[in-house]
Amino acid sequence: MTYFEPAGTGVALRPVFAPEGDLALSPSQLLERPLQPSMAAESRPRRILMTTQTGRPAWDHCLELAGLLGRFGLDVALATLGEPPTHVQLEETLRFPNLQVFPNRFGNGWKDDDWSEVERAGDWLLRLEEHVEPDIVHLHAYPFGALPFRAPRLLEGHDCPVCRFRALRGDVPSVLWERYRQAVHSALRESRLVVAPTAAALHELQDAFGALPEYRVIAAGRSPRRFQPGNKEDLILSAGCFGDEAQNLPALEAVARDLAWPVAVLVEGDAGELDNGPRPVRVLDRPSSQRLASWYGRASIFVQPCRYEPSGVSALEAALAGCALVLGDVPSLRETWEGAALFVEPGNPVDLHRTLELLIHEPKGRRGLAQRARTRALLLSPERRAAAFLEAYADVLREKSGDDAALRAS
């Protein structure tokens, strides 16, 4: 098994996708495994306050996790920040009787000139905690980890603007981000546990903000029942935002005209911001969840030539749907997909074109690569992720109980 270990991080690294025993299981066996957290029922929390945004993939991840936590009697209060949930999203929440949603329109601008929004959102979260009375606060936004919550905090990190800037530019952001950096520095030290989807993401956090007191890798997970292989077509699929430098979609556009197969892009941002001129790729503007899964099922190849990607959720969804993966050679994606994907240099269009043409004209190799990716993806299940969070919650509560006992004895 391949281990990914950034030099000099001090992060205790383990493979994020499987223990050795799981690699011998067939896809059908992997689908039938039950959710089996190891902690006793009495050590679990009763109520979680969780923050999220309403865009993909954050919203999907939180709903999936909340539903699985409900199997073990946990209630989840979901506080949304930024754009409020749509009517369709609110209807989705009705499937989970253990879930309450508390929408809020405060933005997520982290620059110092937008910090008043952050302060108002923080005040609202503290008032919401008083109302909800959670056992644990599960945060998905770094700066809020420094707030004086009464309950212990678990900080789950994904995309960090400072880490993104360092990955793309090799430098730190301007002074406009200084307050954000200070807040994240405090939050990482005041949270009981810091969780990231890959060891590479933890390394980036340590490199940007210093040593982490307590940390854990809990990989992303998506439901294989939602993303399934369909009748495969001669189609290359990608996903992302054209205006996001990290996604590197212009590199794909640069080679698309010379490929033997058409290319389509699932746009996660606002496609209305694109120019109206002809494009070498087909733009699919924020499709519904059902259409999204359908496109993944139809495509034979999924390509993501990104320059920064801390979690790789789109690649995971594509792999579940039976796509062969071509990914940017960045540490987080190589950590998860080594041996189950082909990797390209993000800044090398010749490498990207050559790799895609190789898979187009080698159907046997393409199908084999897709099978390896799907087997790997089945290991990254939402059930495994929920079990890991249940154990993380129990560890956080045990640590708090120990601190409380020590305080009473002093």
Provide the residue ranges of all domains of the chain, joining segments of one domain with +: 43-221+382-409, 236-379
Question: Within 13 Å and on the Cβ side, how many CA atoms surround 252?
Answer: 32
307 touches 328 (CB < 8 A): yes
| Residue 1 clears pLDDT 50, i.e. is over it | no
pLDDT per position as a tens digit, 309-319: 988 899 999 99
- Peptide bond between residue 310 and the one before it cis (omega within 30 degrees of 0): no
Q: Tell me what percent of the residues of the chain surpass a pLDDT of 70.
A: 81
Q: What burial letters (b/e) apply to 376-394, b meaning 16+ CB within 10 Å?
A: bbbbbbbbbbbbbbbbbbb
263 touches 238 (CB < 8 A): yes
Residue pointed to by tokens 């981000």: 177
Residues 380-391: what's their mean pLDDT? 94
Mean pLDDT for all residues in the chain: 83
| Residue 35 clears pLDDT 60, i.e. is over it | no
CA-based R_g, the chain, Å: 21
Query: Which burial class, exposed, middle or buried, applies to 54 when counting CB atoms under 10 A from its CB (0-12, 13-18, 19+)?
Result: middle
349 touches 251 (CB < 8 A): yes
Can you tell me the distance from the alpha carbon of 185 to that of 191, in angstroms, rounded to the nearest whole number? 11
pLDDT of residue 241: 85
pLDDT of residue 43: 65
Token pair belonging to 168:
């793309």
3 touches 13 (CB < 8 A): yes
Residues 237-255: what's their mean pLDDT? 90
Question: What's the CATH code, domain 43-221+382-409?
Answer: 3.40.50.2000
Q: Length of the chain in residues, anyone?
A: 410
Can you tell me the distance from the alpha carbon of 285 to that of 282, in angstroms, rounded to the nearest whole number? 10
Q: What burial letters (b/e) apply to 161-179, b meaning 16+ CB within 10 Å?
A: ebbbbbbeeeeebeeebeb
Which has the closest alpha carbon to 118: 160, 82, 85?
82
Query: Which burial class, exposed, middle or buried, applies to 13 when counting CB atoms under 10 A from its CB (0-12, 13-18, 19+)?
Result: middle
280 touches 227 (CB < 8 A): no
Question: What's the CATH code, domain 236-379?
Answer: 3.40.50.2000
Crossing angle (nearest 10°) for helices 289-298 and 313-320: 60
200 touches 332 (CB < 8 A): yes
Residue 408's contacts (CB-CB under 8 Å, 6 or more residues apart) are none
Coil vs helix vs strand at 113: helix
Strand order of the β-sheet with 301-304 is 282-285, 263-267, 236-240, 301-304, 324-328, 342-344
- CB-CB neighbours of 3 under 10 Å: 10
267 touches 285 (CB < 8 A): yes
Residue 128's contacts (CB-CB under 8 Å, 6 or more residues apart) are 49, 77, 79, 102
pLDDT per position as a tens digit, 134-181: 999 999 988 898 899 999 999 998 888 888 888 888 777 667 678 888
67 touches 99 (CB < 8 A): yes
Angle in degrees, CA 395, 401, 403, rounded to 5: 105
pTM (2 d.p.):
0.84
308 touches 337 (CB < 8 A): no
Q: Which of 108-122, 202-216, 233-247, 368-382 has the lowest average pLDDT?
A: 108-122
Query: Could you give the dihedral angle defined by the CA atoms of residues 253, 349, 359 and 289, in that order, rounded to the nearest 10 degrees?
Result: -40
119 touches 380 (CB < 8 A): no
313 touches 292 (CB < 8 A): no
Residue pointed to by tokens 């391949």: 2
Give yes or no on whether 43-221+382-409 and 236-379 have one common fold: yes
| Residue 19 clears pLDDT 60, i.e. is over it | no
More confident residue, 360 or 285: 360
